[in-house]
Amino acid sequence: MQTFTSFSAPDPWPPVRVERPNPRYAAEMLSNIGACDSEMTAAALYFYNSTVLSDAEPEFSGIFHHISIVEMRHLEIFARLAHLLGADPRLWSFHNDRLCYWSPACSRYPTQMTALLQNALVLEQETILRYRQQAARICDACLADLLNRVILDEQLHLEIFRQMLAEVCPKGP
């Protein structure tokens, strides 16, 4: 397997700022930190994956560990953005016009390697799609630039997980 030396895209990070407070954009950033398909879910899931793979697959465990750290950086950025936009940046999101706290029950926890990697792939694909949609509809250049920069990391994670899956299942799952 290819040895990975970086788990974050090399592109520079734009400053974490917003043009002005905006409750609608704040709600979207809350979903990025505290919904079931959020950065908190990714960080928690990859932490879990790293732990359960630590004995049997130490290389894969290390990869998940490093990616979980990048996801925590995204979590921090989105929490800061939510706060700048006017929201209380708790681990929660709006669901049916109500604030709902994030829960570890948001994640699926497969332990079989193929299912574990496919689960990570789906999470990254859905995340990239959601952030692209947000960046396209948000009329705040600072916010859109940050979303697009986060997408670069998520695309790298997607490629890493694809390579890991190809090593586990050379002929496809």
**Helices 39-53 & 23-34 angle (0-180, nearest 10):** 10
Residue pair 48/107 in contact by the 8 Å Cβ criterion:
yes
* Tens digit of each residue's pLDDT, the chain (173 residues): 567 789 999 999 999 999 999 999 999 999 999 999 999 999 999 999 999 999 999 999 999 999 999 999 999 999 999 999 999 999 999 888 899 999 999 999 998 999 999 999 999 999 999 999 999 999 999 999 999 999 999 999 999 999 999 999 887 65
Domain ranges for the chain, please list them: 23-167
Report which residue type is found at 57.
Answer: E
Q: Which fold has domain 23-167?
A: Ferritin (1.20.1260)
Q: Which residues pair with 101 in a beta bridge?
A: 92
Q: Is the pTM of this model over 0.75?
A: yes
Q: Residue 5's pLDDT is what?
A: 83
> Cα separations (Å) of 92 from 147, 148, 173?
19, 23, 35
Residue with tokens 């694909």: 125
Residue pair 13/153 in contact by the 8 Å Cβ criterion:
no
Q: Residue 171's pLDDT is what?
A: 76
Residue pair 30/97 in contact by the 8 Å Cβ criterion:
no
